[in-house]
Structure 1
Amino acid sequence: MTQAQDPNREQELKKTALCDSCAGIQRNWRKAPGHPELVQSGSRQEKRKGHFVTVTRYSCDRCGTAWDYENDKSNLHAGWSVVGR
């Protein structure tokens, strides 16, 4: 069985596939924009190095990818990160 015909491999590839809009999001950069199909589903406060930051959860209506946006004003490399499907 070749790699293209392996159903387990195909499922794995589907899990990691992002829509074009999600693929265009700049990760780990504060103030980077998301895209219009991201739907906010909640936010929480987390402690980072002695201060609290806001982490907001989003999901994409098109591909189902779950994202967290960390708004930490003291960390320029906070921002968007993929957290699952």
Structure 2
Amino acid sequence: MTNAFNRREKLNKMVLCASCSAIQRNWRRAPGHAELVQASSRKVERSDGHTVTVTSYRCDACGTRWEYENDRTNQQAGWSVVGG
């Protein structure tokens, strides 16, 4: 619980650039922006047995780290902030 709280507090203190602030989170197919630099991709197996691709990005403008989950079965997959 403490780790989740600390992470939430850290994310709340981050300052996102205007472009990062405009990204629609947790919505599959939402666009990113031009200053996101792709870092790596990995395959993740979900509990129901299907595999999704998760791609990491970093914003050149503000340094925010993002992940994009491409899961055709979950409309709420998509962009999420993972650090700054």
| Equivalent position SS for 2:38 | strand
Offset of residue 29 of structure 1: 0.2
User: After the TM superposition, which segments of 4 or more aligned residues of structure 1 sit over 3 Å from their partners?
Assistant: 12-15
Answering whether residue 74 of structure 2 is matched by residue 75 of structure 1, we say yes
Q: Percent identity?
A: 65
Give unpaired runs (5+ residues) of structure 1: 1-11
Alignment match, 1:52: 51
CA distance in 1, matches of 2:38, 2:68: 10
User: TM-score, structure 1 length as denominator?
Assistant: 0.82
Structure of greater Rg = 1
Give the TM-score of the pair, scaled to structure 2.
0.83
Aligned residue number for residue 37 of structure 2: 39
List aligned pairs for 1:19-30, cutoff 5 A: 19-30=17-28
Structure 2: segments with no counterpart, 5+ residues: 1-9
Count of equivalent residues = 74
CA RMSD between the two structures: 1.7
